[in-house]
Every structure is written in structure tokens, then in C-alpha cells.
Structure 1
Amino acid sequence: MNTADPALICSAKGCRAPAVWVLAWNNPKLHTPERRKTWLACEEHREYLSRFLGVRDFLKEVVTLADWQEAEQSAARAEAGEKAENGERDADGDSGPGPRRA
């Protein structure tokens, strides 16, 4: 997710405001405990969407979009590093971070 991406808008019905928050949730009847689905929220709808998920016991975490993106990037870097250490190759056939082969 990129905070400058205009596609990152609030998940509230009819809202076109830029997303500021990520609401991580799961439905325990459908998803494994570690699975996280996400809704995006603007400042105005964060509380409403949080309550909607919370009364159903679906809400797991609310974080800023910037913090969520940072965590995703850190996880991706860690995964790439582990693959490189294990000699695994990525989808491009490369063994890890660095310039892509042409």
C-alpha cells in the first residue's frame, strides 16, 4: 500500500476520502486466527467501522496506514532475506534483493 495511492480510500460505503487507518480483522468462523483481512478508514469513519467490526468480535487491530505499510515492507524484506539465506529464488529467478536480471 502506498499512502499517495488515490486508490487507498475509506472502506465506508459512499466515502471517497483518503484512508488514514487500517482496521485488521478476521471472522473466527471462517478464518484461521493468524489471518487478517483489512478495511481502510478515513479519520471520520474510523470509530464507526471499528465499532461495526468490534461488536461482532472481528476487530483485531487498528493502526495508521503508514505504520501498516512500514510493517508490510519490513516483513517483505525479512522474507526476501530468509529466501536468499536458504538459496531460494524469487519469481524472477533471482536469489534475493538486488538489481533484476534483464
Structure 2
Amino acid sequence: MLPFGPADDGPTRPICSAKACRADARWVLVWNNPKVHTPDRRKTWLACDEHRESLGQFLAVRGFLKDTVDFAEWTAAEAGDPDEGRSSG
């Protein structure tokens, strides 16, 4: 499940997973902790442009980061849009 927060006009919007950040998510960081999760399990954090690198580094140094995907591409792929695909960023 991706984290969403309230927008100024009421509807929910995807927000960055960094502590205290309320910026719009632009990236999906796909990760897995092999000590806790099965190899095929994927967890996600969302990141704004500002926190993409720091959140990615946090996961990468632990060997958890599997992929970084543009949020729009991720949501299109999750919805089954044949014109969009996932790619590393």
C-alpha cells in the first residue's frame, strides 16, 4: 500500500515517505528485507525529488533496495496500462 495524505483541496495525494515531508511523491523505491520477507515480496516507499537519493541510500546500504521507479510509470503499470512500463531510475 502506498502512503497518501490530504491535499489542500481535500482529495488524497501520494506523499513522500521521508519523516515530516509532505511533498508530492515522484518516485517509488521498491525494496525487500531478506531477513524478514520472502524473496518475491516487495515493499514500497514513496519519495519526492529532494528525498529520492537519501531514502534510496538508506535502503541500498542495507542491501534492501531493488528498484527506483517513476511514480507515474509505477501507477500505470499497476493499473495494467499497456503503454507504460516500469524502468529503473
Normalising by structure 1, what TM-score?
0.66
Q: Give the equivalent residue in structure 2 for 1:53.
A: 59
Contact 1:25 1:36 in 2 (8 A): yes
Q: Identity over the aligned pairs, expressed in percent? A: 62
Unmatched tracts of structure 1, length 5 or more: 76-102
Q: Note the 1:1-102 alignment, pairs <5 A.
A: 6-74=12-80
Letter in 2 for 1:47: E
Report the TM-score when normalising by structure 2.
0.76
The alignment covers a number of residue pairs equal to 74
SS of residue in 2 equivalent to 1:62: strand
Query: RMSD of the alignment, in Å?
Result: 2.1
Structure ranking higher in strand proportion? 2
Runs of 4+ residues deviating >6 angstroms: none
Q: Point out where structure 2 has 5 or more consecutive residues left out of the alignment.
A: 82-89
Cα deviations across residues 56-89 of structure 1 (Å, max 9, x unaligned)?
00000000001111111118xxxxxxxxxxxxxx
Return the structure number with greater helix share: 1
